[in-house]
A and B are shown apart, each in its own frame.
Chain A
Amino acid sequence: MSAVQTTSPPQDDTRRRSPMAEVFFSLMRSRTFLVGLFIVLFWVACALFGEHFAPYDPLADDIINALAPPSSEHWFGTDQIGRDVFSRVIVGSRDILTVAPLATLLATVAGTALGLLTGYFRGIVDDVVSRILEAFMAIPVVIVALLAIVALGTSKATVIVVIGLSFAPIIARTVRSAVLAERELDYVAAAQLRHESAFHTMFVEILPNVIPPILVETTVRLGYAIFAVATLSFMGFGIQPPSPDWGLSISSNYGMIGGGFWWTVLFDALAIASLVIGVNLVADGVHGALND
C-alpha cells in the first residue's frame, strides 16, 4: 500500500466531475451527435411502432407480384415471394435493436466488473486475468460465434452471450486503465482507512468516477455490436426467418443479385449502414462532450 496522504481536499473530487448540464449543452451543440441521434431515434421509432405505419404486412407473401421493381405501389419493390421490401425494412430494425443493445449491456456489465477487479487489485490477479483477456481479444468474434453456435445451437440468446462476452475484455481494458489512475487518489485511500470492504470501495467509491470512459466505450461498442449482429444474421446464425431482419433479408436475397434484382438487397444494406453510422456519430459526440 502506498503512503497515505492525510490532507484530502474534497473539492478536488467534485471539480473533476463535469456537471451533467455542461455535458448536455455540449452534446446539444455537437452537430455530429444530433445527426447521429436523429438517425438512431428514427430506427428506434421504426422498431417500436413500425407495423403501424408500414404500408403492408412485412410477412405477407404475394407470389404473383414477386420481384416487382420499385413502383408507386411498392416503394422499394417486392422480394422473391412478393413481400413488400419497404415494410420489411421499416419493421426489420426491431430484432437488431433488441439483440445488439442487450449484448452491449452484457459486455458493459461484465467488462466493468472485470476492469474494476483487475485495476483495483493489480498484482497477480491483474496479470493473470489481463493476459487471458488479451489472448481472448485476439480471437475474431465471428470465429467465437461459429464455435458457440455449433456447440449451443442458434438463438438470439446465444448471439447476445457471444457478442457480450467477446466485447467484455475490451471494455474491461478501458475500465482498468481508468481505475488504475483513480485508485491513487485520496478518496480511495480514505475509504481504505475507514476499512471499507474492497467491494464497497470498487463499486461505490470508484465506479461513479469512472462512468464517463465507460459511457464512451459503451456507445462505441454498441456500433460494433450492431456490426456483429448484422454480420451473424447474414451468415445465418442468430436472428432466424421469418423475421424481416436486414442481415437475414440480404442473405436470403443476394443469391439473385446477378439477375439485377438490386432492390431486394440495396435498401436493407443502406438501412444497416445508416444505423451503424448513426450510432458511431452518437459515440463520437459523447466522446467529444465528455473529453472537453
Chain B
Amino acid sequence: MSLSLVTLFLLSIMVFLGGQVLPGNVGRAILGPFADQRAVDALNHTLGVDRPLLTQYATWIWNFIRGDMGTSYIFRSPVAPFVIDALGNSMKLAAVAFVLVVPIGILGGVVAALNLNRPLDRIISLGGLSVTVLPEFVTGIILILIFGVWLRWLPISAAWPKNAGFFTQLYYLILPSLPLFLVLFGYIARMARSGMIEALDSDYTRTAVLKGLPWRTVIWRHVLRNALLPTITVIATQTGYLIGGLVVIETLFRYQGIGSLIFTAARGKDFPMLESGILTIGIVYAVATLIADFLYSVLNPRIRLGSDQ
C-alpha cells in the first residue's frame, strides 16, 4: 500500500520535473525559436509556468485529483476526455492479452511441472523463456508478417472500422495482444511451474497421496491451490511491464490507447497530455498492485489469519 503510494509520488515528481522543469522555457518550446519574446512571456504567464516550482507542483497535483488534467497544448481542449478514451482502449487490449495469457500460462506451467524434465517440459520452458526475452516490437513484426501479410488471417492494424461491434473489435485486437501474450506467457508459466514443483514435492502432497486420494483430487485440492499463489503476485507485478509494452504495441499497431497517447504527446511536446497520461497509468499500476495484495491475502489463509508477520 505505502509502496505504491511512494511509487506514485516519485512518478509524479519525475513527471513534473520531466514535463515542466527540465525542458526549460515551455512557452519557447511550444512557439518555436522564431516566436516573439513577448508572445513567449505571455504564453508562459497563461500556462502558469512563471510561478514558483512548489506552487506549480501543488496546483498541478490538486487539479489532477479534482479531475482537471489541464488543457492540451496541441488540441486546445481539456486533456481528460482524451486520456479517459485512450485508457478505455488500452484496457480492452490489456484485457484481451490477460484473458488469453493467464489461463494458458498457468496451464503451460502446470503441464510442464507434471512432465518435469521430459521433452514437453523442455519445450514449454525453453520456448516460454525465449519469447519472453524478445522485445514486443520484434515478435510483433514477425507475427504481423505471418498472420497479417502471408496468411492474411488477421488485420495488421488495430484501428477497427467505426461502430464496430464487440466481436469485430475482438478480431482486431487479437494480433496486437499476441506480442504481450508471448512476453507474459514465459513469466507466468515459469512461476506456475516452480510453484507446482515445490507443491508436488511437499509433505502435504505426499500425505494426500499416501492416504489413498486419487491423483486428480490431490492435484486439484492440494497442489494447485498452493502452487498458484506466487503466480498471482507475478501477474500483478507484470502490470507495470504491460504498461511499458502497451506504448510499443500501440505504436506498432496504430492503436489509440494510452501508450500511443503518451508517445504522441512526448513527440509533440504536449506536456499536460504527457503528464496526465503518465500519472494516470501510474494510478492504474498502483490500483493493480493493491488488488493483487488483496487477492493474495484472501487466497492465503496464513496471511488472512494474521499468523504470519
Most buried by A among B10, B15, B17: B10
Complex contact A138–B22 (CB within 8 A): no
Partner of A140 from the list B135, B243, B274 (CB cut-off 8 Å) is B243
* A105 beta carbon closer than 8 Å to chain B: no
Q: Which of A43-51, A210-218, A256-264 participates in binding chain B?
A: A256-264
Complex contact A138–B144 (CB within 8 A): no
Partner of A144 from the list B14, B22, B150, B281 (CB cut-off 8 Å) is B14
* A62 beta carbon closer than 8 Å to chain B: no
Complex contact A132–B6 (CB within 8 A): yes
Could you give, for residues 230-273 of chain A, a 1 whenever the CB lies within 8 Å of some chain B CB and a 0 otherwise?
Answer: 11001110000000000100100010011010100110011011
Partner of A254 from the list B4, B11, B252, B278 (CB cut-off 8 Å) is B252
* A148 beta carbon closer than 8 Å to chain B: yes
Q: Which of B198-206, B226-234, B259-267 participates in binding chain A?
A: B259-267
Complex contact B134–A276 (CB within 8 A): yes
Q: List chain B residues, Cβ under 8 A from A124.
A: none
* A77 beta carbon closer than 8 Å to chain B: no
B281 vs chain A, min Cβ distance (A)? 7
* A204 beta carbon closer than 8 Å to chain B: no
Could you give, for residues 36-55 of chain B, a 1 whenever the CB lies within 8 Å of some chain A CB and a 0 otherwise?
Answer: 00000000000000000000
A146 vs chain B, min Cβ distance (A)? 5
Q: A148-B18, A150-B269, A231-B135 are in contact. Are A257 and B141 (CB under 8 A)?
A: yes
- CA A277 to CA B21, docked complex, whole Å: 39
Number of residues from B at the complex interface, CB < 8 A: 51
* B78 beta carbon closer than 8 Å to chain A: no
* A142 beta carbon closer than 8 Å to chain B: yes
Q: List chain A residues, Cβ under 8 A from B56.
A: none
* A66 beta carbon closer than 8 Å to chain B: no
A212 vs chain B, min Cβ distance (A)? 21
B245 vs chain A, min Cβ distance (A)? 8
* A134 beta carbon closer than 8 Å to chain B: yes
Q: A138-B4, A143-B278 are in contact. Are A272 and B135 (CB under 8 A)?
A: yes
* A136 beta carbon closer than 8 Å to chain B: yes
Could you give, for residues 102-142 of chain B, a 1 whenever the CB lies within 8 Å of some chain A CB and a 0 otherwise?
Answer: 00000000000000000000000000011001111110011
Could you give, for residues 239-276 of chain B, a 1 whenever the CB lies within 8 Å of some chain A CB and a 0 otherwise?
Answer: 01101100110011000000000110011010100100
Partner of A277 from the list B7, B130, B282 (CB cut-off 8 Å) is B130
Q: List chain B residues, Cβ under 8 A from A269.
A: 138, 141-142
Complex contact B10–A132 (CB within 8 A): yes
* B27 beta carbon closer than 8 Å to chain A: no
Complex contact A131–B3 (CB within 8 A): yes
- CA A257 to CA B244, docked complex, whole Å: 24
- Smallest CB-CB separation from B137: which chain A residue? A234
Complex contact B14–A257 (CB within 8 A): no
* B145 beta carbon closer than 8 Å to chain A: yes
Q: List chain A residues, Cβ under 8 A from B252.
A: 254
A residues adjacent to B (C-beta < 8 A):
131-132, 134-136, 138-144, 146-152, 223-224, 227, 230-231, 234-236, 247, 250, 254, 257-258, 260, 262, 265-266, 269-270, 272-273, 276-277, 280
B residues adjacent to A (C-beta < 8 A):
3-4, 6-7, 9-11, 14-15, 17-19, 21-23, 129-130, 133-138, 141-142, 144-145, 148-150, 156, 240-241, 243-244, 247-248, 251-252, 262-263, 266-267, 269, 271, 274, 278, 281-282, 285, 289
Identify 17 residue pairs between A and B in the complex whose beta-carbon atoms are under 8 Å apart, listed by A's number. A143-B247, A146-B263, A146-B274, A147-B19, A149-B266, A150-B274, A151-B17, A227-B135, A231-B136, A231-B137, A234-B137, A254-B144, A265-B141, A265-B145, A270-B142, A276-B134, A276-B138
11 extra interchain contacts, Cβ-Cβ under 8 A, other than A254-B141, A273-B138? Answer: A135-B6, A140-B244, A147-B14, A147-B274, A151-B18, A151-B21, A230-B137, A231-B248, A234-B137, A235-B248, A265-B145
